[in-house]
C-alpha cells in the first residue's frame, strides 16, 4: 500500500505556528514582489479569494474582510518542510518527498490491519512535533492515494486519514472524483474527455483498455491502470536528472545600471551552480537574459539574451559567474529599466560524464573543487545558502518586494521568539 501525505494550507500553516493570532482568521500569502496570492487559509477562500489573484486587484476585498496578508517567507517554509519530512521518516522509514508539502510513503512493511492506526499516528506526530496539520491518503496505488488524501482533507469525519482498501471504497472514491482532479490528468484534458462524455474518474476507469489506448498516450494509460488498482507509477520519476536549469527573478523596481544587474546576475550564478553541485550536474554553457516591464508599454522596451559556452563543463560558481558577467555586458544597454533577469542553463549533464578540458590546470581544478565543497559545507551548516558567497552577490531580499514578510523564526538567531519568563510581568 502507498500513502500520500499532504500538508494542509502549508504556507499559511507555517505562519500560524509562530503567530497564533492568525488562527481562525482569513490569511493570504503572496508571491515574490507581493504580486499574486499563492496560498490561502480556508477562511480566506470563504470570502471569495482564489490562488493566482493579483493582490492589487483584490486588496479592497482583503481590507474589507480583515484578511491577514503576508509576503512569502520561503526560507521559513523550506525549513518547516524539512522538519515535517524528518518526522514522517521517523515513523515510516521509506519516504519519497514529492514537493515541499507532499510526500509518498511506502506502507509495505505494515500489515493491512495496522495501516489506519499507523496513518493516524503519523498525522498526530507531525501535528504534535512540528505544528503542521496534514491529510493522509492510503491506497494500493499512488494515484488512488492522491485521491484519498483529497478526501481526508475535505471531510473532517476522516480525522486526517482516508484508507482505500476495498473495491467498494475504490469505486466510491472515483465516483466522487471529477476527472480533472485526477493526478496525471488535470484541467488541460477536460475538453478531450468531455468529447467522450467522461466527467468522473469512475467513467474513465471503467473504459475498456483498448479504447483508452485510442485516446490517451502512455501517461494516460498508466493513469488508467493506477485508477484500477494496478501500481505502475515510478515515484522516483521526478528525481530523474534534469536536462535544464534556471534561476530568474522579477525585481521590486526596474534596475537601470549595469552594476545593479551585475550583482543580481552574480546571485543567479551562485544559485544555479549550487543547485548543480547538489545534483552532481555540470553545465556546458549558459544564457543570460534581461527583460523590461511589458506591462508599461509607454516605457522603452528591450528584451535581449546571450548564450556563451563555458571553457569546460563545470558547476564551479566563479566560472559560471565570470561567463555570466561577460554575457550581461554584451547585452546591457543604458536607457532601459529592467524588471526581470535570469540565467538559463539550457543543457546540464551528469558530472561523471563530463570531459575535462585539456587546457585547464588540473591542480587548479582540484583546488576549486575543494573550495566549492567547503563553501557548500559552511552554508549548509549555517541554515543559509549565502553565508559565504562571491563579493558581487546580491541577497534575494534586496531585489524583491517583501514588505509583509514574517521573521525567519527557525533559521535566524536574531528572529527567534523571545519569551518573558518573569512571573507576574
Instruction: Please indicate, yes or no, whether residues 254 and 316 belong to a single structural domain of this protein.
Output: yes
CA 205 centroid distance within chain: 30
Q: Are strands 281-292 and 348-350 parallel, antiparallel or unpaired?
A: antiparallel
Instruction: Look at residues 240, 272, 294 and tell me which one is the last residue of a structural domain.
Output: 240
What pLDDT shows up at residue 385? 58
**Same domain for 344 and 261:** yes
Residue that wins the pLDDT comparison between 397 and 369: 369
Last residue of a domain, one of 240, 258, 275: 240
Model confidence band, residue 400 (pLDDT cutoffs 50, 70, 90): low
**Same-domain status, 65 and 150:** yes
Domain coverage including residue 299:
245-394
Task: Output the domain CATH number for residue 419.
Answer: 3.30.70.270
Pairwise CA distance, residues 29 & 51, whole Å? 9
CA 386, 388, 391: angle at the middle one, nearest 5? 95
Evaluate the CA torsion angle 105, 109, 113, 117 in order and state its sign: negative
Query: Per-residue pLDDT for 238 more than 60?
Result: no
The model's pLDDT over 404-417, given as tens digits with 9 standing for 90+, comes to: 888 888 877 777 88
Please tell me the predicted confidence (pLDDT) of residue 383. 53
The answer to whether residues 57 and 132 belong to one domain is yes
Question: Angle at Cα 269 formed by Cα 268 and Cα 270, nearest 5°?
Answer: 90
- Grid coordinates representing 352 are 561523471
CA distance 266 to 271: 9
CA distances from 293 to 31, 56, 296, 300, 366 (A): 18, 17, 6, 9, 43
| Size (the chain), residues | 425
Spatial CA neighbour of 132 closest among 17, 265, 20, 251 = 17
List, for residues 178-215, the tens digit of each pLDDT value: 988 888 887 778 888 888 888 899 998 999 998 888 88
Task: Assess whether 322 and 403 both reside in one domain.
Answer: no
**The domain that contains 200 carries what CATH number?**
1.10.150
| Contact (CB, 8 A) for 200 and 224 | no
What's the CA angle centered on 291, arms 286 and 293, to 5 degrees?
Answer: 160
Residues 83 and 178 in one domain: no
* pLDDT single digits (tens) 112-121: 888 889 899 9
Query: What's the pLDDT score for residue 46?
Result: 92
Same domain, 2 and 130: yes
Quote the pLDDT of residue 129.
Answer: 92
Q: What is the pTM of this model?
A: 0.71
Number of structural domains (the chain) is 3
Asked whether the beta carbons of 119 and 102 are under 8 A apart, the reply is no
pLDDT at position 134 over 70? yes
Please report which residue ranges of 177-257 form alpha helices under DSSP H.
190-195, 201-205, 209-215, 218-227
- Report the CATH number at residue 351: 3.30.1490.100
Amino acid at each position: 500500500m502507498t500513502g500520500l501525505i499532504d500538508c494542509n494550507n502549508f504556507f499559511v500553516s507555517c505562519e500560524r505556528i509562530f503567530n497564533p493570532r492568525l488562527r481562525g482568521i482569513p490569511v493570504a500569502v503572496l508571491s515574490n514582489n507581493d504580486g499574486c496570492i499563492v496560498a490561502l487559509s480556508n477562511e480566506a477562500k470563504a470570502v471569495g479569494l482564489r490562488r493566482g489573484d493579483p493582490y492589487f486587484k483584490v486588496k479592497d476585498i482583503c481590507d474589507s474582510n480583515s484578511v491577514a496578508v503576508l509576503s512569502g517567507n520561503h526560507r521559513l517554509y523550506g525549513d518547516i518542510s524539512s522538519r515535517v519530512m524528518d518526522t514522517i521518516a521517523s515513523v515510516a522509514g521509506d519516504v519519497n518527498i514529492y514537493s515541499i508539502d507532499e510526500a509518498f510513503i511506502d506502507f509495505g512493511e505494515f500489515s493491512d490491519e495496522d495501516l489506519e492506526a499507523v496513518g493516524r499516528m503519523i498525522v498526530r506526530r507531525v501535528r504534535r512535533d512540528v505544528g503542521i496539520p496534514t491529510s493522509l491518503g492510503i491506497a494500493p496505488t499512488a494515484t488512488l492515494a492522491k485521491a484519498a488524501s483529497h478526501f481526508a482533507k475535505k471531510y473532517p469525519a476522516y480525522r486526517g486519514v482516508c484508507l482505500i482498501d476495498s473495491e467498494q471504497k475504490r469505486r466510491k472514491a472515483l465516483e466522487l472524483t471529477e476527472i480533472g482532479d485526477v493526478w496525471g490528468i488535470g484541467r488541460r484534458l477536460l475538453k478531450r474527455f468531455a468529447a467522450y462524455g467522461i466527467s468522473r474518474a469512475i467513467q474513465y476507469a471503467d473504459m475498456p483498455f483498448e479504447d483508452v489506448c485510442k485516446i490517451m498516450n502512455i501517461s494516460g494509460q498508466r493513469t488508467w491502470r493506477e485508477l484500477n488498482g494496478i501500481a505502475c507509477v515510478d515515484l522516483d520519476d521526478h528525481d530523474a536528472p534534469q536536462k535544464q536549469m534556471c534561476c530568474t527573478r522579477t525585481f521590486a523596481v526596474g534596475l537601470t545600471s549595469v552594476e545593479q544587474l551585475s550583482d543580481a546576475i552574480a546571485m543567479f550564478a551562485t544559485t544555479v551552480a549550487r543547485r548543480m553541485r547538489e545534483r552532481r550536474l555540470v553545465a556546458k554553457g549558459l544564457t543570460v537574459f534581461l527583460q523590461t516591464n511589458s506591462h508599461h508599454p509607454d516605457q522603452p522596451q528591450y528584451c535581449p539574451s546571450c548564450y556563451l559556452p563555458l571553457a569546460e563543463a563545470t558547476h564551479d560558481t566563479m566560472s559560471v559567474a565570470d561567463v555570466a558577467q561577460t554575457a550581461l555586458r554584451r547585452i546591457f544597454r543604458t536607457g532601459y529599466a529592467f524588471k526581470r533577469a535570469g540565467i538559463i542553463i539550457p543543457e546540464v549533464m551528469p558530472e561523471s560524464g563530463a570531459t575535462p578540458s585539456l587546457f585547464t590546470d588540473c591542480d587548479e581544478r582540484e583546488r576549486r573543487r575543494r573550495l566549492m565543497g567547503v563553501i557548500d559545507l559552511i552554508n549548509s551548516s549555517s541554515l543559509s545558502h549565502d553565508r559565504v558567497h562571491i563579493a558581487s552577490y546580491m541577497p534575494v531580499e534586496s531585489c524583491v518586494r517583501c514588505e509583509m514578510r514574517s521573521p525567519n523564526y527557525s533559521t535566524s538567531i536574531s528572529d527567534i521568539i523571545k519569551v518573558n519568563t518573569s512571573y507576574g510581568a
